[in-house]
Amino acid sequence: MSHLTAVSGLDAAAFGDDPGRWPLPPAQGHRQLWLRAIAAGGQGRYADANAGLAELLRGRPESRLASLALSTRASFLRQLGWHWRAHDWDGRAWALAGDDPEASADALAGLAADALGVGRLGVSADLLSRATDVLTGAGAVPPRLKIRLAWVGAELAMASGDGRTAVSHARRGVELAENALPVLRRHRVKSDVVLAAALCCAGDLAASRALADSALVAADSHALVPLRWALACLLAGIGSAVHSQGAIVEVRDRSAEFVTRHGGRWRMPGGRP
């Protein structure tokens, strides 16, 4: 495989239209290790993803890339419910971000999500505002960052019980993901996941159910197992218009088992965040 092919394949898997590609091309250099970890984590292959991040950090990359790698590690912990532990990694990411807007916004958005996950809603709102300010004062930044801030804004509104505001933020995330170039397939699917949850929070169960059913097909076709699990959890609570309750529970449980087999460790309910 040529160097060019490897770069193209990993970019498309991490931030493009091929997030379900497996096996992934081998990484060549620090940035490719980061891309490969992102792609593997998006599929729920956490052992592979974390091994790549560890190799990257052992190689003493520039501070900017080290910060992005630490933010990525934190995001994996959050996906599994470990918000308090993720906070430590995001804090280290923020310390290394310096003046780089991408790394700074990533770290601040992560810290906002961490605070949200442990119920510190005011802190989360302040951190989200700081992340927004970073992007407002920056030049060209990757479109994924504004999408990510829309997600956190929607999740913060949901945690506050404000369904209308949650839907507004979530729709903004969908719009940004739809217009992003290159195509951010994983971000597009996750934006629908967030919107489905926001619609549920707003009490529009029919719209939430329809969108979640549709997004479940997309998550499955792109092998985005953590998103498939999240959608199945939502549908297990509100019911699917397409699948039986037993089928949805099976999808949820199979997705959780896949993650466990591939190195993910779920935080048990009632455990420390």
Give residue 168's pLDDT band: very low, low, confident or very high (50, 70, 90).
Answer: very high
pLDDT at position 270: 62
Residue 129 pLDDT > 70: yes
Residue 13 lies in a domain: yes
Number of domains in the chain: 1
Contacts of 156 (CB under 8 A, 6+ apart): 112, 116, 121, 124, 125, 128
In the predicted structure, residue 108 carries a pLDDT above the cut 90: yes
Is residue 42 domain-resident?
Answer: yes
Q: Does some domain include residue 205? A: no
Is 55 inside a domain boundary? yes
Please say if the pLDDT value at position 70 is more than 50: yes
What domain range includes position 42?
Answer: 1-61
- pLDDT score at 272: 63
> Is position 131 within any domain?
no
Q: Which band of pLDDT confidence, cut at 50, 70 and 90, is reported for residue 4?
A: very low
Work out the pLDDT band at 137, boundaries 50, 70, 90: confident
At 268 the pLDDT is 78
DSSP state of 271: S
56 within some domain? yes
Peptide bond into 182 cis (omega under 30): yes
**Is the pLDDT score of 5 beyond 50?**
no
- 33 within domain boundaries: yes
Residue 43 forms part of a structural domain: yes
